[in-house]
Structure 1
Amino acid sequence: MTEVPDWLDRLATQAQRIRVPRYLRPPDGAGRAAAVLMLFGEGPLGPDVLLIQRSTRGRRHAGQPAFPGGGVDPDDGGPVAAALREAEEETGVDPSGVHVLGTMPELYLDRSDNRVTPVIAWWREPSAVHAASPHEVDSVERVPIAELVDPGNRVTLRHPSGFAGPAFQVRGMLVWGFTAMVLDTVLREGGLERPWDPTRVEDLPQHVIDLASRG
């Protein structure tokens, strides 16, 4: 069992005050309630975060790295319970070893019409994880924070629409879109970000575009 690190405690304390970019603010009355679990822990290489690689066979967000999560069901009672349930279903994580610290403001994914609540948590007692739902998840990774903040792993990714946003190239994954924007915010607000070159711009690979175009 490990204690919550100071940076994560500070982040959770100010989480509800984090400024949400206009393009991620939910429109009035729009979207289905959803939640994702941002689960941070202490791994062999220092602090890390749990990410999944969504199945390439999926209809939405196919093949994309993401936080575990999904829709809030009526029986969940809210986003925290939904995030823990989905994380257990997708990765096998034991919720009893997870210490929930707080939530960020809702963020809107227009692609899937979801109002997503990021749930910030500390992995108090880590458990084994795997792709527990193969039809939804191809793989599960505990990605070290040190690799995420490494300037050599960071890039600005340009979508064919012209929109450009932060991305991370780690563990054979290209983390982009919603997940990368949230990670970028968390690393910055947590005081973990290292200087990197945002003018290093790359185009979103065609095979990633093809997968993302499904649904």
Structure 2
Amino acid sequence: MSAREDLKRVIQAHAPAVERGQREPMPSKWTFGRVEDETARNAAVLILFGHLDDVPAVSHDSTVPGDLDVLLLERSANLRKHPGQIAFPGGGVDDTDRDVTHTALREAVEETGLDPAGVEVLGQLQIAELPVTNFLVTPVIGWWTKPSPVQAVDVNESRTVFRAPVADLLNPEFRRSVRVKRDGHTHFSPGFVVGERVVWGFTAIVLDRLFNEAGWTIPWEPAPEIVPPFSSKH
């Protein structure tokens, strides 16, 4: 089965929960309070997969093709929330958005400059709770049928945009357990080393779940513990 078909299978498995509006909370090891329904804002992120053009994967023994990649961005270190973190393109739902798919694509265009005409939307996963910013986030899964150039459109929001080889994210050598202390409590999330960057927190949790459900995960525990940069702000 191809990677695209694996993703469609995961989306199909989520469909009943999506129709019910069922949420998926953060893991117990990564829970910073609860979402306040009265003030929570809806948001969407685009998890865009495609085939690498000029950035080969380091890893060769993987459960996915070596040229499979996912689009990520590095947030500006000057942002008040999630500074310097690696994230999916995405943001809050606007009143003018037709639906969460429109939100995810609009935000991706605004942040990375991609051409949405080259993106096939495969579907969405159930809503993920993000208590730190009081967002209810819908992950929208896309497939890049015609890749277009990407870059950080607004350097005040994003430092850089890049395509990460999925085979490298899955490589046990590049997996980490990320430890964050807040208000006297210690929290853990999965982590992925991407060159000199570390994917952790919400983005890593969503990727970890997706990789597990797609059947791509290579056993990696126990992984070395690390403390990420900018861990004092989430």
User: Does 2:50 correspond to 1:41?
Assistant: yes
In 2, are the aligned partners of 1:34 and 1:72 still within 8 Å (CA)? yes
Q: What do the CA deviations read for 1:52-71 (whole angstroms, capped 9, x no partner)? A: 00001111111000000000
Alpha-carbon deviation of 1:6?
2.0
Alpha-carbon deviation of 1:11?
2.1
Alpha-carbon deviation of 1:27?
5.3
Tell me what 1:20 maps to: 24
Tell me what 1:65 maps to: 86
Q: What do the CA deviations read for 1:27-79 (whole angstroms, capped 9, x no partner)? A: 54441010000000011441110000000111111100000000000001221
In 1, are the aligned partners of 2:25 and 2:129 still within 8 Å (CA)? no
Q: How does 1:47-196 map to 2 (within 5 A)?
A: 47-160=68-181, 161-196=185-220
In 2, are the aligned partners of 1:4 and 1:122 still within 8 Å (CA)? no
Of 22, 40, 44, the residue aligned with 1:31 is 40
In 1, are the aligned partners of 2:175 and 2:220 still within 8 Å (CA)? yes
In 1, are the aligned partners of 2:11 and 2:124 still within 8 Å (CA)? yes
What letter matches 2:230 in structure 1? V
**Structure 1, unaligned runs of 5 or more:** none
Cα distance in 2 for residues equivalent to 1:22 and 1:132? 30
Residues 18-27 or 130-139, more deviating: 18-27
Tell me what 1:10 maps to: 9
After superposition, the CA RMSD in angstroms is 2.1
Q: Under a length normalisation based on structure 2, what TM-score does the superposition of the two structures give?
A: 0.82
Tell me what 2:223 maps to: 200
Residues 174-183 or 4-13, more deviating: 4-13
Q: What do the CA deviations read for 1:150-174 (whole angstroms, capped 9, x no partner)? A: 0000011111131112111113211
Cα distance in 1 for residues equivalent to 2:73 and 2:117? 20
User: What SS class does the counterpart of residue 50 from structure 2 fall into?
Assistant: strand
Query: What is the number of equivalent residue pairs in this alignment?
Result: 208
Cα distance in 2 for residues equivalent to 1:17 and 1:171? 37
Cα distance in 2 for residues equivalent to 1:138 and 1:80? 24
Alpha-carbon deviation of 1:201?
4.0
What letter matches 2:24 in structure 1? V
Cα distance in 1 for residues equivalent to 2:134 and 2:37? 12
* Percent of matched pairs sharing the same residue: 42
What letter matches 1:41 in structure 2? G
Q: Would the alpha carbon gap of residues 176 and 164 (structure 1) be closer, same or farther in structure 2, given more than 3 Å must change?
A: same
